[in-house]
Amino acid sequence: MRFTVAVAAVALGVRAARSRHRRALHPAGRTFTGELEVWGTPTTAGSVLIDRPGRHRATVRVSKGAGARGSLPDVLGLAIRVHGSTGPDRDLLLSTTGRGRLTRHLPIPRRSFDTVYGSITPYRNREGATVYLSAGPDRDGTALGRTLASVSAAADGDRDAGFLLYAGGARPFGRVRLGPALPPEADAALAFDPVGNAPADLRPAGLLNATRAVAYRASRRWRGVSPAADSPGTVSKTRSEPRACPSG
């Protein structure tokens, strides 16, 4: 028993040493320029980011949680940084989950990037109501495939490659499109924080998110990177004409 514990401790130590200046989670990924288009929901979600139609510059990262190679199954990640034109950037992080009422709280390994992603834990809007964010494949866009390379090829070959975004309902409130890929050094330097960089009217809720906040700060210090500017202000919007919401 002691030998097993010792081996496990050594293995964890080696993993930690090797991950110095690298992500401990979601180490394998690709980062893209992008655009978030919002057309809103049939009923208000209680957050400016979701309710106000507009277009926003975005940085999008797709990743594999354990860094599994090729098309091997893994917990896949979707991270979206929404850039404010005059205010701070805001981060939304999703990962592959189950589709049921209970399993949406659980990270689930998947093979294909054309699948369901969820926030796992809820957000609270300005009225204090809970909102679960999720994303799914855009059936009218290019399939993303099963590998990071296939996602990159889809983004390079078709501007319609991306994901539909949902706020607890069956109809999407918007779409994020993938643009050209950023160089590897830009991907390595990117640091997301969905707790510290959440919109003021869409705050992560629950004890787990308090723990995540500490973990993200520790991870950034370990990697030696800086997060996006943190501020209590809301994401700035570029207004556009409302667009009819497609069926989801």
In a domain, 7, yes or no: no
CA distances to 56, 57, 228, 237 from 86, in Å: 12, 12, 14, 9
In a domain, 85, yes or no: yes
Q: What is the mean pLDDT of residues 203-218?
A: 61
Evaluate the CA torsion angle 54, 130, 29, 68 in order and state its sign. negative
Say if strands 174-181 and 28-38 run parallel, antiparallel, or are unpaired. Answer: antiparallel
In a domain, 13, yes or no: no
Question: Per residue in 56-107, pLDDT tens?
Answer: 999 999 999 999 999 999 999 999 999 987 678 999 999 999 988 888 889 9
Q: Is residue 31 classed as helix, strand or coil in its secondary structure?
A: strand
Domain count, the chain: 1
**pLDDT interval class at 42 (50, 70, 90):** confident
Q: What's residue 216's pLDDT?
A: 54
Residue that wins the pLDDT comparison between 5 and 140: 140
CATH of the domain at 192: 2.40.180.10
Q: What's residue 235's pLDDT?
A: 33
**pLDDT interval class at 2 (50, 70, 90):** very low
Q: Is the pLDDT of residue 247 over 70?
A: no
**pLDDT interval class at 43 (50, 70, 90):** confident
Dmax (CA) for the chain in angstroms is 65
What is the C-alpha to C-alpha distance for residues 65 and 85, in angstroms, rounded to an integer? Answer: 31
Q: What's residue 209's pLDDT?
A: 52
Task: Report the Cα 24 to chain-centroid distance in Å.
Answer: 16
Measuring CA to CA, which residue among 91, 74, 59, 82 is closest to residue 25?
Answer: 74
In a domain, 113, yes or no: yes
In a domain, 35, yes or no: yes
Domain holding 134, by residue range, is 26-223
CB count within 10 Å of CB 180 equals 11
Q: Is the pLDDT of residue 140 over 70?
A: yes
Cβ atoms 69, 91 nearer than 8 A: no
Measuring CA to CA, which residue among 178, 175, 177, 217 is closest to residue 194?
Answer: 217
Q: What's residue 132's pLDDT?
A: 93
In a domain, 76, yes or no: yes
Q: What's residue 160's pLDDT?
A: 87
For the chain, percent of residues with pLDDT exceeding 90:
56
- The mean-pLDDT minimum among 101-105, 150-154, 192-196, 215-219 falls in 215-219
CB count within 10 Å of CB 242 equals 12
In a domain, 3, yes or no: no
Two structure tokens written together for 228: 């996006």
Residue that wins the pLDDT comparison between 36 and 26: 36
In a domain, 242, yes or no: no
Q: What's residue 84's pLDDT?
A: 84
Q: How many residues does the chain have?
A: 248
Q: What's residue 100's pLDDT?
A: 85
Residue that wins the pLDDT comparison between 102 and 235: 102
Q: What is the mean pLDDT of residues 5-9?
A: 37
